[in-house]
């Protein structure tokens, strides 16, 4: 039975950044639905073709597509794996879909990274992502040692298509309307924790680590 930890929060809250640290330092298998969808787009799959304009517009990809992706991925994990979900569920329907798998994949903890709007906007507008390996940077808070190129693989850094101001506004409002209600779903199940997501990456990691370690 693989144990599931969910990291939720607004666009730019630092889910991906913290998920990478938790995976690396605490041995979780990280699974980001945003990353998987962007891979589909890059590879030109059927899912990628359906998802591309939706993602670029800042809206949510349909629940049934996400359920197929998540179910297939969870089926790959071994029973004693610790799984970290970044960016799923994002609608109440998705939370019910995930609950339908709870016999094999129970959700043990849901952590929301709570970040003020000014920080969210600053983090998103300054993010740059490697076009080759996908590593994430920030022009002010986490710049590449090689300027406009990735300091791991040398790939060109680019701005995500949904990280421009008009798209950021859409994503923040979709989060308020569609994703925030998911928090009540998990509060009612007694597995929800709110963490202050403002501050440095290491400060936030320490807060997360102390909560996550209560799981095992
Ligand atoms: P997704 O890729 O999940 O995007 P998101 O939720 O909008 O979140 P982000 O990845 O933008 O932010 P993050 O919280 O991971 O922050 P990060 O650590 O990168 O989804 C994209 C799209 O895919 C969705 O809009 C939707 O269309 C679709 N999708 C995905 N899942 C779906 C689902 N379940 N259902 C339907 N559709 C779905 O940090 C951001 C920046 O800030 C980086 O530059 C980073 O370096 C910097 N930073 C991080 N932490 C700090 C810090 N403490 N201080 C300063 N800077 C920091
Ligand atoms: Mg992310």
The model's pLDDT over 9-56, given as tens digits with 9 standing for 90+, comes to 999 999 999 999 999 999 999 999 999 999 999 999 999 999 999 999
Q: Is 11 in the pocket of ligand 1 (CB under 6 A)?
A: yes
Q: Which ligand has the minimum distance to the alpha carbon of residue 37? A: 1
For β-strands 82-86 and 127-130, DSSP reports them as unpaired
Classify burial at 118, counting beta carbons within 10 Å of its beta carbon; exposed 0-12, middle 13-18, buried 19 or more. exposed
pTM: 0.97
Alpha helices in 28-116 (DSSP H): 33-43, 46-56, 63-76, 92-99
Which of 15, 38, 123, 167 is catalytic? The answer is 15
Mean pLDDT of the chain: 96
Atom of ligand 1 nearest to the CA of 197: 53
Tell me if residue 78 is catalytic: no
Give the distance (Å) from ligand 1 centre to CA of residue 55. 12
- Chain segment 119-154, per-residue pLDDT in tens: 999 999 999 999 999 999 999 999 999 999 999 999
Tell me if residue 90 is catalytic: yes
pLDDT at 1: 66
Kindly report whether the peptide bond that precedes residue 89 is cis, defined as omega within 30 degrees of 0: yes
Which of 90, 123, 128, 167 is catalytic? The answer is 90
Q: Supply the angle between the helices 33-43 and 46-56 in degrees, to the nearest 10.
A: 120
Tell me if residue 127 is catalytic: yes
Q: Which ligand has the minimum distance to the alpha carbon of residue 38? A: 1
């Amino acid at each position: 039975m693989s144990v599931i930890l969910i990291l939720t929060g607004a666009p730019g809250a630092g889910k991906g950044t913290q998920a990478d640290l938790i995976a690396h330092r605490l041995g979780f298998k990280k699974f980001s639905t945003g990353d998987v969808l962007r891979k589909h787009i890059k590879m030109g799959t059927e899912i990628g073709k359906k998802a591309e304009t939706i993602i670029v517009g800042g809206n949510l990809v349909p629940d049934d597509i996400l359920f197929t992706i998540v179910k297939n991925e969870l089926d790959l994990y071994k029973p004693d794996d610790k799984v970290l979900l970044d960016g799923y569920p994002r609608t109440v329907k998705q939370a019910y879909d995930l609950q339908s798998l709870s016999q094999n994949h129970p959700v043990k903890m849901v952590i929301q990274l709570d970040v003020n709007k000014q920080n969210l906007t600053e983090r998103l507008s300054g993010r740059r992502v490697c076009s080759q390996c996908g590593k994430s940077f920030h022009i002010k808070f986490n710049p590449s040692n090689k300027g406009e190129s990735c300091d791991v693989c040398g790939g060109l850094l680019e701005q995500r298509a949904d990280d421009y101001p008009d798209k950021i506004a859409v994503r923040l409002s979709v989060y308020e309307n569609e994703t925030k209600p998911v928090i009540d779903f998990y509060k009612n199940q007694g597995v929800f924790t709110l963490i202050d997501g403002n501050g440095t990456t290491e400060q936030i990691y320490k807060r997360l680590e102390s909560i996550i370690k209560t799981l095992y």
